[in-house]
């Protein structure tokens, strides 16, 4: 099995475990602090992501790409310079922006978010910035060497620690107010990320083949060329991520002000935004652990193939990634659409958010495609094109949110539609850019077969769910329905020839 497939499968397994643990985490938070508390959490969270994006400057992607190329040449001295320069950049930026986040918290909470209670989550999460700055460098190093185990295990450790602490923290702070409980959830996240960093650092010490501390500062001072190489990849990648982070940062601001124009009170707006971004979107994004795993593995794999001018392999890797994304994403779409209400009821004790899932799920197949496409653009040094595509999508998304959410008959549904339009547009733009630079065959018949399989599996499963085991516990009925749907969907794509024995042989437990 190739490093690409092995690394992808490791990340998928860890991603699945991490997402499941993350869901347990969200369920615990929702049960303790409700939609309003989740809304406060989710209003503050995009600000953190923006600060982290500025701090990282796209360095992790650049580390992964450059380390992969240096590893292929056996140049360990260059790898050492890459790490030294990267740490210097990220640590310096985190020292600047962490205090900045704390100082700006009062203004952000009172003026921009229109809910002063977001101040406490903003301040509580600030210490996580330098922790993530260091861990991202180490993760980039391991990913560049196509060793996905440390990054995968660290994600699991982070979630285990977070979920262990989050119930304790939210329960301890809840008597002081819902805003303090949301801050407690943020503090649990800080400790989770810290535990992940400790593990990554320990693995780095064990696995590295050179001494980092020896001539560390000399590596920085003599690393001008390395800095230029890193920034040539990092800055365009940062531009793309920065646009996404800025878009997410402005999203709660635009939503809260738009709903205010539509006559929705601040407290109600916070609850509605919590239901959309804290309940519905995490469920819609659950299958993305597969596309994130594929994207992470694609950057070094395609960088290596591209450096050898093996364009046939570049297309092969992209076809693999999109194929897996379509198969898994298609199943996710029909599960979420058919079982939206019972899933929300089981997980959060409320059907709030189910309407968002039904509205957005059919279009989220494009979201599952977006990650691999963007990874390919970065690996082919087309991060600038990805940045432009993301900018167009972000501007359109924000415009649609404002145009629709300010209308009373749309309200928060306008925000959901804006997110869908932005996602759809960026994915199509990425795909058109890829088609311009690499030879790529589109198998139209296969896509039609996938559409038929999705519709048949969805319709049959909905009918079975409605008539089977009437009066049984809802959990049992949903599990039976999902199992039936999964088996039927798998059988259909097998009958249609969309999965073959050759595909199964790529998985370790089918290799004999």
**CA-CA distance, 158 to 194, in Å (whole number)?**
8
Of 257, 272, 307, the residue at which a domain comes to its end is 257
Which range scores top for mean pLDDT: 112-116, 134-138, 317-321? 134-138
What is the C-alpha separation between 477 and 145, in angstroms, rounded? 45
Structure confidence at residue 399 (pLDDT): 94
Q: pLDDT (tens digit, 9 = 90+) per residue, 59-82?
A: 887 888 888 878 777 777 788 888
Residue 422 has pLDDT above 90, yes or no: yes
Shared-domain flag, residues 364 and 474 = yes
Q: How far apart are CA 315 and CA 318, in angstroms?
A: 5
Residues belonging to the chain: 512
Share of the chain above pLDDT 90, in %: 13
**For 244-258, what is each residue's pLDDT tens digit?**
788 888 888 899 889
Rg (CA), the chain: 23
Query: Is there a single domain that holds both residue 316 and residue 380?
Result: yes
Residue 154 resides in a domain: yes
The pLDDT tens digits of the residues spanning 437-487 come to 877 777 788 889 888 999 999 888 888 888 776 777 888 888 888 899 989
Same domain assignment for residues 272 and 339: yes
Do 94 and 189 lie in one domain? The reply is yes
Total Cβ atoms within 10 A of residue 509: 7
Task: Give the model's confidence band at 11: pLDDT under 50 very low, under 70 low, under 90 confident, else very high.
Answer: low
Residue 249 CB-half CA count within 13 A = 18
pLDDT at 400: 95
For the ranges 216-230, 349-363, 398-412, 431-445, the lowest mean pLDDT is seen at 216-230
Spatial distance between the Cα atoms of 230 and 56, rounded to a whole number of angstroms: 12
Same domain, 211 and 281: no
DSSP at 75: -
Q: Give the model's pLDDT for residue 402.
A: 93
Cα–Cα nearest to 6, from 506, 434, 512, 510: 506
Which one of 257, 274, 309 terminates a domain? 257
- Residue 1: pLDDT band by 50, 70, 90 thresholds? low
Could you tell me if residue 40 is inside a domain? Answer: no
Kindly state whether residue 33 falls inside one of the protein's structural domains: no
| Between 109 and 429, residue with greater pLDDT | 429
Spell 64-88 as b/e; 16+ CB within 10 A means b.
Answer: bbbbbbbbeeeeeebbbbbbbbbbb
Residues above pLDDT 70, as percent of the chain = 88
pLDDT of residue 61: 79
Query: With 0-12 CB in 10 A as exposed, 13-18 as middle and 19+ as buried, what is 471?
Result: exposed
Give the tokens for residue 51.
């600060």
More confident residue, 386 or 503: 386
Q: How is residue 96 written in tokens?
A: 């600047």
DSSP string, 176-226: G-HHHHHHHHHHHHHHHHHHHHHHHHHHHHHH-SS-SSTTHHHHHHT-HHH
Residue 219 pLDDT > 70, yes or no?
no
Cα gap 122→120, rounded to integer Å: 5
Confidence band for 209, pLDDT divided at 50, 70 and 90: low
Q: Which two tokens stand for residue 328?
A: 């898994």
| Range among 225-229, 278-282, 450-454 with highest mean pLDDT value | 450-454
Residue 157 token pair: 């450790």
**Mean pLDDT over all residues of the chain?**
82
**Apex 414 CA angle, 410 and 415, nearest 5:** 145
Angle between helices 383-405 and 224-261 in degrees, nearest 10: 10
Using CA of residue 477, residue 482, residue 484, residue 485, what is the dihedral sign? positive
Specify the range with the lowest mean pLDDT, choosing from 279-288, 289-298, 314-323, 435-444. 289-298
The residue out of 257, 282, 309 marking a domain boundary is 257
Same domain membership, residue 315 and residue 397: yes
* Residue 181 belongs to a domain: yes
Give the structural domain span for 223: 3-25+45-257
271 and 351 share one domain: yes
Confidence (pLDDT) at 510: 39
Q: Which three-class secondary structure state does DSSP give residue 443?
A: coil
Same-domain status, 327 and 300: yes
Whether 299 and 331 map to the same domain: the answer is yes
Q: Are residues 455 and 319 in the same domain?
A: yes
Q: Once rounded to an integer, what is the mean pLDDT over residues 416-423?
A: 94
**Does residue 399 lie in a domain region?**
yes
What is the separation, in whole angstroms, between the first and last Cα of the chain?
Answer: 12
C-alpha span between 60 and 142 (Å, rounded):
10
Q: Span 183-190, mean pLDDT?
A: 90
- Tell me: do 398 and 304 sit in the same domain: yes
Same-domain check for residues 419 and 337 = yes
pLDDT surpasses 80 at 500: no
Specify if 34 maps to a domain: no
Only one residue has tokens 């699991």, namely 156
**444 domain-assigned:** yes
Residue bearing tokens 């896509």:
447
Element (DSSP H or E) covering residue 446: helix 444-467
Q: Which of 111, 103, 115, 125 is nearest to 177 (CA)?
A: 115
117 or 305, higher pLDDT = 117
39 occurs within a structural domain: no
Instruction: Please tell me the distance from the alpha carbon of residue 27 to that of residue 162, in angstroms, as a whole number.
Output: 13
What is the count of structural domains for the chain?
2
Span 28-35, average pLDDT: 80
């Amino acid at each position: 099995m190739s490093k690409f497939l092995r690394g992808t499968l490791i990340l998928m397994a860890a991603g699945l475990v991490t997402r499941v643990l993350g869901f347990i985490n969200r369920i615990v938070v929702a049960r303790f602090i409700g939609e309003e508390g989740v809304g406060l959490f989710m209003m503050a969270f995009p600000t953190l992501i923006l600060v982290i994006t500025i701090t990282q400057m796209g360095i992790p992607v650049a580390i992964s790409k450059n380390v992969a190329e240096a590893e292929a040449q056996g140049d360990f001295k260059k790898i050492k310079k890459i790490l030294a320069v990267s740490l210097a950049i990220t640590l310096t930026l985190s020292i600047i922006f962490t205090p900045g986040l704390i100082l700006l918290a009062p203004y952000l909470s009172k003026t921009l978010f229109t809910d002063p209670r977001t101040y406490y989550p903003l301040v509580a999460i600030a210490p996580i910035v330098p922790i993530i700055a260091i861990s991202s460098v180490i993760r980039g190093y391991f990913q560049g060497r196509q060793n996905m185990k440390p990054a995968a295990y660290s994600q699991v450790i982070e979630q285990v620690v977070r979920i262990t602490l989050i119930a304790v923290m939210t329960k301890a702070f809840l008597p002081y107010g819902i805003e303090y409980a949301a801050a407690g959830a943020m503090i649990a996240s800080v400790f989770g990320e810290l535990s992940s960093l400790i593990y990554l650092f320990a693995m780095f010490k064990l696995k590295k083949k050179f001494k980092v501390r020896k001539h560390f500062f000399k590596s920085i001072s003599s690393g001008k060329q390395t800095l230029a190489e890193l920034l040539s990849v990092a800055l365009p990648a940062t531009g793309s991520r920065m646009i996404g982070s800025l878009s997410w940062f402005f999203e709660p601001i635009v939503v809260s002000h738009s709903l205010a124009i539509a006559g929705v009170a601040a407290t109600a707006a916070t609850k509605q935004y919590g239901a959309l971004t804290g309940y519905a979107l995490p469920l819609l994004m659950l299958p993305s652990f597969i596309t994130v795993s594929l994207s992470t593995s694609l950057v070094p794999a395609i960088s290596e193939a591209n450096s050898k001018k093996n364009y046939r392999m570049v297309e092969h890797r992209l076809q693999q990634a999109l194929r897996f994304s379509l198969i898994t994403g298609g199943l996710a779409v029909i599960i979420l659409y058919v079982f939206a209400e019972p899933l929300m009821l089981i997980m959060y004790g409320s059907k709030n958010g189910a309407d968002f899932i039904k509205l957005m799920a059919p279009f989220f197949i494009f979201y599952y495609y977006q990650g691999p496409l963007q990874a390919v653009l970065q690996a082919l040094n087309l991060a600038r094109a990805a940045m432009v595509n993301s900018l167009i999508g972000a501007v359109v998304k924000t415009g649609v949110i404002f145009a629709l959410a300010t209308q009373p008959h749309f309200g928060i549904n306008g925000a959901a539609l804006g997110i869908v339009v932005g996602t759809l547009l960026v994915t199509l733009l990425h795909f058109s850019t890829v088609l311009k630079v690499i030879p790529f065959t589109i198998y139209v018949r296969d896509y039609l077969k996938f559409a038929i399989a999705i519709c048949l599996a969805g319709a049959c499963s909905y009918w079975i769910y409605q008539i089977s085991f009437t009066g049984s516990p809802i959990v049992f009925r949903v599990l039976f329905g999902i199992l039936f749907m999964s088996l039927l969907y798998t059988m259909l794509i097998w009958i249609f020839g969309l999965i073959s024995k050759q595909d199964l042989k790529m998985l370790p437990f089918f290799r004999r």
